[in-house]
Amino acid sequence: MTNEKKPFAITLDVGSSLANKTGTWRNERPSYVHRLPPCNNACPAGEDVQGWLYDAEAKNYESAWRHLVKNNPFPAIMGRVCYHPCQTACNRVQVDEAVGINSVERFLGDEAIKQGWKFDEAAPATGFKVLVVGAGPSGLSAAYHLARLGHQVTIRESAPLPGGMMRYGIPAYRLPRDVIDAEISRIVDLGVTIECNVKVTDVPAMFAEGFHAIFLAVGAHLGKRAYIPAGDSARILDAVSMLHATEDGDPPLLGKRVVVYGGGNTAMDAARTAKRLGAREAIVVYRRNREKMPAHEIEINEALEEGIKMHWLSTISHVDADKVTIEKMALDESGFPQPTGETEELEADSVVLALGQEADLSLLNNLTDVSVDDGVVTVDEMMMTGMPGLFAGGDMVPGERTVTMGVGHGKLAAKNIDAWLNEVVWTHPPRPELASFDRLNPWYYADAPKSVRPRLDAARRAETFDEVVQGLDVETALFEARRCMSCGNCFGCDNCFGVCPDNAVIKHADGTYEFNLDFCKGCGLCAAECPAGAIQMNIELN
């Protein structure tokens, strides 16, 4: 206080209102939060989708890719074969259409192959040796994560080439083989040894060989058979063997008219492959209706576009050399198909059974600690079987049988194997609250149409094994990435900074924000106007 004479009744110096700390008025305090975006929540492989899209939006494609592969080493494969539950969960559906996450993922994966990006170096060697049995998505994913943690990993694979169902189940028109090779070789570069044409039959011998832990991921490669009355010369194959043989370059003779029995993704693959192998007609026979078909909508549509015929609500009652007899079914009140007694004959040179797959669990025959239930191996929440140190995942354990699920199992198993080796218990980090649509302020998102992937002409596609769905170019990929609403996570829109009537949000030069609680009155405007729902108001109790 200066000694200068002040006006009557005035004791204070003139000054700025900055002396008045209005933060004392506050009874609710804002804080920046990270909520769980629905895409991340839905991803079976546990990808941080919103996180890598954030980098892609800024054209930082390499950091986006690095962020992505922290959880999943196969973006180029995922971008082709994942059924993208992330897009089904995407909040943007409620504004216009889901973000094309899968296309952007594929773009990043292809860009990584094109640019020759390598994984970050593995952690220093731990001295632990882990055996992975099976080089499918689950085994490769586990090997990748274990190798990054510094463990020495060997994969033994019974087939001549690694990839499992990605190579021997999914046809090349959906997943080109050079893409599989590129993404697997990157794992090999990380120091993982893959031994092919080696079938593991004796698990205890493997532990005796010096492996500290073993992860089984042998998949489910045996086609389920069903008893179907058939004449002597009837030609009946199973879809898994047919797809496997085609990959080996030795496709079976199917004839001109092929009937595929079943309604799953493998049935679609078999029917579409049959067309490409020269069948004039490929007919899918399925006992329930289209709505109940387990095949993914995309695959059904692409099959229909290629001229595959569908006989829904039908079962095969007899197979002869040149025809099959099908019986019409009707759904009862509980949605279960019941026979009607009405039959029809279809001309057919061969029948391909696509009735599901089973795992070959013969390597577990003498292991009394390991229990098998309904054809799959029982594992605990650590992905460990009843035998200490023996873990299992992928199609041979209960769960949805997709590539992405397999990758997720591999990652989960790797975290638990790592913990088990270090004699600790891994616990899943606490999941933040879901960033549901009602948490967002969608006003701030402009409407935009989804860019559609260029597609090969359906007619042309059916003739060859060329890839059906083409990737996005760089402009379109950026466009798609920028449609992300960044649910539950700040993306730097400056709204909080702008709408505060008290200038109580500080924006730093690096684009981050901070609340100035000296002046924040707790009005809540920043939280209400945050497009992404990344600000939370909390009651303050003095």
Partner 1 sequence: MNAPVKFYQIGSFAVGNRLVDPEDRSVQSGENRFNALTSGHRACQGCGEALGARYVLDTAMEATDGKIMVVNATGCLEVFSTPYPETSWRLPWLHSLFGNAAAVATGVAASLRVQGKSDVRVIAQGGDGGTVDIGFGPLSGMFERNDDVLFVCYDNGGYMNTGVQRSGATPPGARTNTSHASGAEPGASFNQGKDLPRIAMAHGIPFVATATVADLRDLEAKVRTAMSIRGARYLHVLVPCPLGWGSRSDETIKLSRLAVESGIFPVFEAHHGEVTDVKKIRRRVKVEEYLQPQKRYSHLFAGSGLPEQVAMIQAIADKNIATFGLVDEGDDND
**Dist. CA 489–CA 498, nearest whole Å:** 18
Give the nearest distance from C-beta 483 to partner 1 in angstroms.
5
**Positive/negative CA dihedral, 105, 108, 112, 114:** positive
**Dist. CA 210–CA 307, nearest whole Å:** 54
β-pairing, 236-238 with 350-353?
parallel
* Token couple for 366: 């003498």
Give the nearest distance from C-beta 37 to partner 1 in angstroms.
14
Give the nearest distance from C-beta 94 to partner 1 in angstroms.
13
Buried-exposed string 393-420: b where 16+ CB fall within 10 A, e elsewhere: bbbbbebebbbbbbbbbbbbbbbbbbeb
The residues pairing with 281 across neighbouring beta strands, listed in sequence order, are 257
Give the nearest distance from C-beta 514 to partner 1 in angstroms.
11
Kindly tell me which of 376 and 440 has the beta carbon lying closer to partner 1.
440
Interface residues toward partner 1, by CB under 8 A? 10, 12-22, 25, 57-58, 443-446, 448, 474-475, 478-479, 482-486, 491-495, 497-504, 507-509, 511, 516, 518-519, 521-525, 527-529, 531, 537
Kindly tell me which of 154 and 476 has the beta carbon lying closer to partner 1.
476
Kindly tell me which of 205 and 452 has the beta carbon lying closer to partner 1.
452
Alpha carbon 467 to chain centroid distance? 20
Give the nearest distance from C-beta 539 to partner 1 in angstroms.
14
Give the nearest distance from C-beta 503 to partner 1 in angstroms.
5
Q: How many CB atoms neighbour CB 32 within 10 A?
A: 17
Give the nearest distance from C-beta 125 to partner 1 in angstroms.
40
CA distance to 260, 297, 322, per residue, from 282 (Å): 7, 18, 14
**Dist. CA 422–CA 213, nearest whole Å:** 11
Kindly tell me which of 42 and 58 has the beta carbon lying closer to partner 1.
58
Give the nearest distance from C-beta 15 to partner 1 in angstroms.
6
Give the nearest distance from C-beta 39 to partner 1 in angstroms.
14
Q: At what angle do helices 177-189 and 101-115 cross, to 10 degrees?
A: 60
Kindly tell me which of 270 and 484 has the beta carbon lying closer to partner 1.
484
β-pairing, 213-216 with 390-392?
parallel
CA distance to 20, 127, 130, 185, per residue, from 193 (Å): 67, 15, 11, 10
Kindly tell me which of 109 and 531 has the beta carbon lying closer to partner 1.
531
Kindly tell me which of 10 and 424 has the beta carbon lying closer to partner 1.
10
Nearby residues of 496 by Cβ (< 8 Å), 6 or more positions away? 30, 505, 513, 526, 529, 530, 535
Tell me phi and psi for residue 121, to 5 degrees. -65, 150
**Dist. CA 270–CA 360, nearest whole Å:** 21
Kindly tell me which of 188 and 478 has the beta carbon lying closer to partner 1.
478
Instruction: Evaluate whether 393 touches 410 at the Cβ level (below 8 Å).
Output: yes
* Token couple for 170: 């999914």
- Count of residues for the chain? 542
Kindly tell me which of 289 and 441 has the beta carbon lying closer to partner 1.
441
Give the nearest distance from C-beta 143 to partner 1 in angstroms.
36
